[in-house]
Amino acid sequence: MLQISKGIISINDSILFTFPNLIVHSDEIIGIIGDNGAGKTTFFNYIIKNIRRKKLINFNGTYSLVKQIQPTDDMKSGGERTKAAIIESLESHPALLMLDEPSTNLDTTQQVWLKDIINSFNGKLLLITHDESLLNLVNSLWIINDKKLTVYNESYSEFLLNKEKSYKKQLTSYKQQQIQISKWKKQIQKREQRAERLKKGNGRKLSSSEKKAAGMTSHDTMERKMQKSAKSLESRMNRTIKVQRPRTVKPIKFVDPNTKLLDSRTVLNIKDTTIKINDRILIDDVNLKLKYGDHIQITGKNGSGKTTMIKMVLRHKEKFFLNHISIGYFDQNHTSLADKDKVNSLIRASSDQNSQTIFATFSALGIKEILPRKVSELSGGQKVKLQLAKILLGPHQLLILDEPTNYLDLRAKKGLEDFLINYPGTIILINHDIDFTEKLNFKTYNIKNKKLLNPILNNHYSSSEDNNLLLLKQRLGTFITDPNISMEEIKDLQNKIKKLETNR
């Protein structure tokens, strides 16, 4: 068992969040969620430090931490480096495994491998992630919000369901209270108006029957009672505990003045082009034609040539792109931000969008608070989001986004999702986040066996491979029970099945 005494996580005397007493049982998987900069990685460092010092934490077993950013290696991709680090950690058979954003840079095949590792791990596992497919594997959640860590002893799907129920309940209560407050205000206004008429005499004297109906014998007494009644009702209304309207993110309305000019025009045309690196063919005979407004994603294993293809066509814009089209390119490894610039001035100088759209985009990405700051005052995560916002809000007609969800928290991913769905121009998305891309429902071009397969061919190849795999598995069952089949033939068939499963 891992026991962590309640405490405070801070940096440079600035409190990031407080947390209660925490317990992690054997074979428990804890998902840790929070916005970028909330203090999740700092919390991991705190745990490691206090395990070593044997203070504030009760734990006597072995432990291992896989950090979010691995040392660079020109011979390995980011996904390969992360996978190697996880394998190295597992070799020590830790009782406590701590993974910090382990799915970052992993391709789809490596993500399947990671899920198998997490499911089969025999011990306590703490998982910092924004990957919803990984969050679906956890038993409990530690969620950092408003500088406080809260424990939810439920699965991620249960948490989302309860969160939606809570939102609907709060919204209903808010609407009902607003109706009641509106009624009270009307009653207060009527009573104040009656009191005012009484004060002025309303241009006539009240008859005896009117005084009797009001239970009054004095005109002044009636006025005072009516004023008192209005103030009493107003006091009651003000004492009522107000139900806050649940927070919602307004949809981002992006305006491209060139929409009518470019409608249905071809903005990218790649014909019979081979993508190479150092004379090694990555993708052979590429054909890709996109019109204004097309939204596509390009998938494929790490090293298949996705980014290389994008960089090649960008180097030869005049050959592949429509003349004078503006292209916004987001790359995790490239930033064009000057430390001396103020964020607000930087964005307004590079965007044609109005203040409302700019603020809505920054709010959706969870960085509205950085607008008045200088670039030099921002964290690494905030700079990545700022670079992304700068590209999204630029005067572009075509966006090329290479792994934009890496290092984005859940709120920022949702904001990016809404933006891309409503974006009027063309989008080329490279992304390994399966849950994210499924929500977008873009057309998928897949790189497989050195070919860029369009959506129709991609579905055909997948269907054909599934059929072949089924036939081979059926044949394997027959081989195993046939005494005339050698072990060499069985192993050969098993290798074919394994190869097909790996390439899926």
Measure the CA–CA gap between 57 and 4, rounded to whole angstroms: 5
> What is the rounded average pLDDT of the residues 163-188?
90
Tell me if 215 sits within 8 A of 384, measured CB to CB: no
Question: 489 to each of 241, 271, 343, 465, 486, how far by Cα in Å?
Answer: 77, 43, 65, 21, 5
Phi, psi of 429 (to 5 degrees): -115, 130
CA 469 to chain centre: 35
pLDDT at residue 249, rounded to an integer: 67
Lowest mean pLDDT, pick from 94-98, 196-200, 319-323, 442-446: 196-200
- The amino acid sitting at 427 is I
pLDDT at res. 156: 92
Per-residue pLDDT band at 396 (split at 50, 70, 90):
very high
DSSP annotation of 394 reads: S
Q: Mean per-residue pLDDT for 273-286?
A: 90
Per-residue confidence at 190, pLDDT binned at 50, 70, 90? confident
Instruction: Report the C-alpha gap between 367 and 401 in whole angstroms.
Output: 19
State which H helix or E strand residue 63 sits in.
strand 63-66
Is residue 311 within 8 A of residue 430, CB to CB? The reply is no
Picking from 191-205, 277-291, 319-333, which range would have the lowest pLDDT averaged per residue? 191-205
Q: pLDDT class for 148, splitting at 50, 70, 90?
A: very high
pLDDT of residue 304: 87
Q: Terminal CA-to-CA distance of the chain, rounded, Å? A: 39
Q: What is the reported pLDDT for 255?
A: 76
The CA radius of gyration of the chain, in Å to the nearest whole number, is: 31
- pLDDT at res. 382: 84
Mean pLDDT of the 455-472 span: 55
Look at 257 and 217; give whichever has higher pLDDT. Answer: 257
What CATH code would you report for 2-153? 3.40.50.300
d(CA 283, CA 277): 10
User: How many CA atoms within 13 Å lie on the side-chain side of 420?
Assistant: 28
Helix count (H) and strand count (E) of the chain? 17, 19
Question: Using an 8 Å Cβ cutoff, are 3 and 22 in contact?
Answer: yes
pLDDT above 70 for 219: no
| Nearest-angstrom CA–CA distance, 135 and 99 | 12
Longest CA pairwise span in the chain (Å): 119
**Is 405 within 8 Å of 380 (Cβ atoms)?**
no
Q: Which residues pair with 126 in a beta bridge?
A: 30, 98
Name which of 286-290, 366-370, 489-493 the model is least confident about. Answer: 489-493
What pLDDT, on the 0 to 100 scale, is given for residue 267?
Answer: 93
List phi, psi (to 5°) of 177: -70, -35
User: Could you say which DSSP state residue 202 is in?
Assistant: G
CATH ID of 259-453, from 1.10.150.530, 3.40.50.300, 2.40.50.140, 3.30.930.10: 3.40.50.300
> From CA 271, how far away is CA 421, in angstroms rounded?
28
Residue 135 has pLDDT above 70, yes or no: yes
Q: Which band of pLDDT confidence, cut at 50, 70 and 90, is reported for residue 489?
A: low
**Percentage of the chain modeled with pLDDT above 70:** 85
Residues 47-55 have a mean pLDDT of: 91
Q: Kindly report the average pLDDT of the chain as a whole number.
A: 84
Long-range contacts of 461-465 (CB under 8 A, 24+ apart): 462/504, 465/500, 465/503, 465/504
C-alpha–C-alpha distance, residues 360 and 422, integer Å: 13
Confidence check: pLDDT of 419 > 60:
yes
Contacts of 274 (CB under 8 A, 6+ apart): 281, 283, 284, 285, 286
Q: Are 400 and 327 in contact (CB under 8 A)?
A: yes
Note the pLDDT of residue 74. 56
CB atoms within 10 A of CB 428: 25
Average pLDDT over residues 327-346: 84
Calpha distance 119→29 (Å, rounded): 9
The least confident of 51-60, 448-457, 467-476 is: 467-476
Q: Residue 495: its pLDDT value, please?
A: 75
Question: What is the rounded distance in angstroms from the CA atom of residue 380 to the CA atom of residue 436?
Answer: 23
Cα separation, 284 vs 275, in Å, equals 6
Residue 463: per-residue pLDDT:
47
The answer on pLDDT for 229 being more than 90 is no
